[in-house]
Structure formats: C-alpha cells, structure tokens
Amino acid sequence: MIELAVNIKSGDLSYPIYINNNNIEELKSEVFRQISGKKYLVVISEKVNRLYGKILGFNSERVFVLKDGEKEKNFKNYRKILERALKMQLTRKDAIIAVGGGVVGDLAGFAASTYMRGIDFIQIPTTLLACVDSSVGGKTGIDTSFGKNLVGSFYQPKVVLINTNFLKTLDERQLKTGLGEVVKYAFIEKSCKCEDFNLTNFLNENFEKIFERDTKTLNELIKICLSLKTSVVEKDEKEGGLRRILNFGHTYGHAVEKITNYKKYTHGEAVVEGMRFAFGLAVKKGLIDKNYQFYAEDVFKKYRFMPIPSFNTDKMIQTMKLDKKASSGSINFVLPVDYSTVDIFHFTEQELAEFCGKAL
C-alpha cells in the first residue's frame, strides 16, 4: 500500500491518501473502520453501484445513487442529497461518502461542506480522473447554466481511499479523460515544486502498461500525480497563487465543455484541447519555440488525443469571460514557458482576439 499525506498548513489540517489494489472487501473494511460509530450517507455513481454495490455492501437505505454524467452535477441533485441527509437525521458527527468519479466527488463534497456547516467527507474515487486529480485538494461544487463549478467550496476530505481495481472496469474513453489530467501534470511538473519525481519520463517509459491498466503501474502513476498535486495544494489551498497552475488547459477546456453542452467531449479531451490552445498562444506570444509545441503535440497523439474542430472565436471568448478564473477585465491563462514549466498570463478580450485571429 502507498500512503501519502496532505498537510494544509494554512488550515492546520492534514489527511491521508491510501493507494492500493487490495480486493474490494478490504476497502469495505477500511471504510467501515473510518465511519465506525457514525451514521453515513453514500453518494455513489450508478455504474459503480451496478458493478460493485453488492461487494461494497452499504445499507441500501443509506445510499443515494447518482446517474452518470456531468449534467448530474446540478442544483437539483445537490438539494436532493441534502434533503436525504436531513431525512436520515445525519448530525454534525456523521459522514458523507463519495464513491465514483469527479462528478460524484464534487457534488457529494459540496453537500458535505454545507450540511450543518460541514460534516466528515470521505472520498473513494473510482475513475482515473478522480484518482489523479479531483478527489484530492478539496475543490467541491456544482455546475450552473452560467458555467462549470461556479458554485462550490474548498472542503478537504477526511481521508481518500484509492483502489486501482475499480479502474479495470473503466471504459477506454473514461480512462483517457483521466489521462488528459495526467498529461497536464507532466507539462506543469517543474512548477509544482516537488523534486522527487519525473512524470514525463514515467509517461514515456510506461505508455503500454498504462493502457493495459497494469495495477502496479497505475498505483505508481497515481502516486506521482498526487505527490505533484499535494505539493501545490499544501502551499496554496485556496488558489490564491501557485494552485492556479493546476488549471493548465482549463480556461479554454471549460469553454469547450460549456459550448458543447457538457455532452460532446469529456473533461480530459477538453483539457487537452485547452493545452493545445495554450501551446499555440505561447508560441504566438514568443514564450516558447515551435519545437516544444511539436513535442507536446506528439505527447497528445501518443496518448490518443486527436484535435477537436475549432469553434467561433467570439463565442469562445465570451464563454471564457464567464469562467471563474477570469478576473475583472481579463481572461487568465496558464501558459508553457519552458519544458514542464508554466506561468500565469492575463489577456484582455481584445488582446486575445488579436492573438487568435479567426483561427481559434
């Protein structure tokens, strides 16, 4: 078993992350150990419930099954979860457990953070994306018709329990959406201020094993990504500065998702397209040379991400302006400035339109 710790200094709080590939029964015992003496509400993805509900063996009266898809991360389901917790008479001493991908974790975490002003929250991520990114760091929230994650909170889980056996039943597209975030970490890793790892080499050397879902390789991959993420989050929990680098590819990526109604592209596909856009912008701005952009394109193709057709420039800019990463009068981008190194840049609407021409 791999154990990592997240130590948020500003909030004087820390929690463990356990990564292993034990059988699911052992995971179940660990969960029950964590919630011993507490009442609990489990929010679980429909697919995960179908495949693992029996083995996990939660009391069905304490389970809220959430349909799969980004569209479910909405006010209606947030309210339903809170009402269910109220009906069950959960108290401040009790817990909400998320079992699923990023949608389940974000939604259940937001409910946990606001129920009675905050109750214990346990993350059991079952997709690669949730394992390498969304289950750690405390971002919770829901989407609105104005944009993604516009309502939410920073609320750290009590523990994150990762079991890579869940990844065996992920479909290829779900695996790839997680790989979109993994590739992101490779392009920002030097800026994460965590010296111990070399994700770029790991991705070059283990490409086949990753796609074969070799559990040992996936455990190591998750450990590297989470070590990078933890290093950033510990220094800047609330995204006042350094944490913004984790949004590499996300300004444009979120707009792609929004413009296509969260249906056409997965989050990872949209983020990779956002990174492509960022590389293009960085070349036009003279921050990097074309060789680095070609190298990045090779990485995207190796990890089977094909380019997404372009969108109307004005529409994209208007959508990016609504993103919560935008600040008064400017749209913020994380751009590459050197190999595996990024920085934050601000553009006015006009500057962005000029940089883009009509070729967004």
- Report, as residue numbers or ranges, the catalytic residues: 117, 139, 181, 229, 239, 243, 247, 250, 254, 267
Closer Cβ to ligand GLY, 13 or 55, answer by number: 13
Least spacing, CB of residue 40 vs ligand GLY, in Å: 25
Q: Shortest approach of ligand GLY to residue 133 CB, angstroms?
A: 5
List the x/- string, 180-219, binding to ligand GLY by CB under 6 A. ----------------------------------------
**End-to-end Cα separation, the chain, in angstroms:** 45
- 139 contributes a contact to ligand GLY by CB under 6 A: yes
84 in contact with ligand GLY (CB under 6 A): no
**What whole-number distance in Å separates Cα of residue 122 and Cα of residue 143?**
21
One of 30, 106, 120, 133 touching ligand GLY (CB under 6 A):
133
Rounded distance between C-alpha atoms, residue 244 and residue 267, angstroms:
17
Min dist CB 62 to ligand GLY, Å, is 28
Least separation in angstroms between residue 334's CB and ligand GLY is 11
Among 101, 109, 137, 178, binds ligand GLY (CB under 6 A): 137
DSSP string, 211-269: HTT-HHHHHHHHHHHHHHHHHHHHH-TT-SSGGGGGGTTHHHHHHHHHHTTTTSS-HHH
Strand order in the sheet with 95-100: 2-8, 13-20, 159-163, 120-125, 95-100, 40-45, 63-66
Q: Does residue 148 touch ligand GLY according to CB under 6 A? A: no
Residue 137 C-beta: closest distance to ligand GLY, Å: 4
Burial class (CB in 10 A: 0-12, 13-18, 19+), 155: middle
What residue type is assigned to position 311 of the chain? F
Q: Closest CB to ligand GLY belongs to which residue?
A: 246
> Contacting ligand GLY (CB under 6 A), which of 243, 254, 258, 267?
243
* Structure letter (DSSP) for residue 120: E
Q: Which stretch binds ligand GLY (CB under 6 A): 89-97, 133-141, 264-272, 294-302?
A: 133-141
CA–CA dist 344, 332 (Å, integer): 7
* Phi-psi category of residue 314: left, alpha or beta, with phi > 0 → left and psi -120 to 50 → alpha: alpha
List residues binding ligand GLY (CB under 6 A).
133, 137, 139, 243, 246
